[in-house]
Amino acid sequence: MTRNSKHVKAAIQAYKKGYRVRDGKLYNPEGKELNPYLNPKGTGYYQFSIRWNTGGRGFPSRHTVFVHHLIAYQKYGKKAFAAGMQIRHLDNNSINNSYSNISIGSASDNSMDRPPEDRYAHAVRAATDRRLFTDAEVDEIRRLHADGWTYSKLMEEFGISSKGTMSHIIHHDYKTIKE
C-alpha cells in the first residue's frame, strides 16, 4: 500500500495529541474508548478523524487517521513510514488492529501474509491484465502449431515479434485456466 503523506502526518499528529491503540481498541487523549469506522471508500481499514491547524490561517481542519498507521507509529516510530516500508496485518485481516497483528516490512513480506490461494488468484488477475492473448487464442496457436504451422507463420498470423514469446505460449503455462 502506498501511503499518502497526509495520512502519515495525521497519524503522527494523532499520536502527539495523545491518541493511542491498546488491545486493538482506540482511545482519545482523555482515555475514552472511541469507535473508529470502516473507510467509506471500501479500503477495509478502520479510521477516525482529528482536527488540527496545519499552519494556515483560520480554523483547524479535519484529518483522517488510519488506525493501523497509528499502531505502526506507536510500535516503530517513523521507521513505519520509511521508503519501501509497508504496514502489515499479519493475519491478512485488515480490521484486526490488535498490537500483535500489526507489523512492518517489504511489499514481498506483505504479500506473503496472504494465504497462498489469494496470492495465486491475485497473480492470475495481474497476469491476465497484461496478457496479449485470450485462452481461446492460446488454444488456437497451440492447435495450429500441432497441425504443422511454423513459428514464423504463427508469429505473422498473430502479430508476435519474438520466437521466445511464441515458444513460451506453446510450451509453458500461459493460460489463465489450468487444464
Catalogue all structural domains in the chain, each as residue range(s) with its CATH number: 5-114 (3.90.75.20), 117-171 (no CATH)
Determine the pLDDT at residue 40: 77
- pLDDT of 32 above 80: yes
Q: How confident is the model at residue 176 (pLDDT cuts 50, 70, 90)?
A: low
pLDDT digit string, tens, across residues 131-157:
778 888 999 999 999 999 999 999 999
Determine the pLDDT at residue 2: 42
Taking the C-alpha atoms of residue 60 and residue 52, their distance in angstroms, rounded to an integer, is 5
Higher pLDDT, 1 or 130: 130
Taking the model in full, what pTM does it have? 0.68
Determine the pLDDT at residue 91: 92
pLDDT digit string, tens, across residues 61-98:
889 999 999 999 999 999 999 999 999 999 989 899 99
Average pLDDT over residues 156-176: 85
Q: How many CB atoms within 10 Å of residue 83?
A: 4
C-alpha cell of residue 133 = 492473448
Radius of gyration of the chain, Cα coordinates, nearest whole angstrom: 24
C-alpha cell of residue 8 = 502519515
- pLDDT of 179 above 50: no
Q: Per residue, what are the HEC states of the chain?
A: CCCCHHHHHHHHHHHHHCCEEECCEEECCCCCEECCEECCCCCCCEEEEEEECCCCCCCCEEEEEEHHHHHHHHHHHHHHHCCCCEEEECCCCCCCCCHHHEEEECHHHHHHCCCHHHHHHHHHHHHHHHCCCCHHHHHHHHHHHHCCCCHHHHHHHHCCCCHHHHHHHHHCCCCCCCC
Q: What is the mean pLDDT of the chain?
A: 87
Determine the pLDDT at residue 44: 86
Q: Which residues contact 138 (CB under 8 A, 6 or more apart)?
A: 169, 174, 175
Determine the pLDDT at residue 128: 64
CA angle centred on 93, ends 89 and 3, rounded to 5°: 50
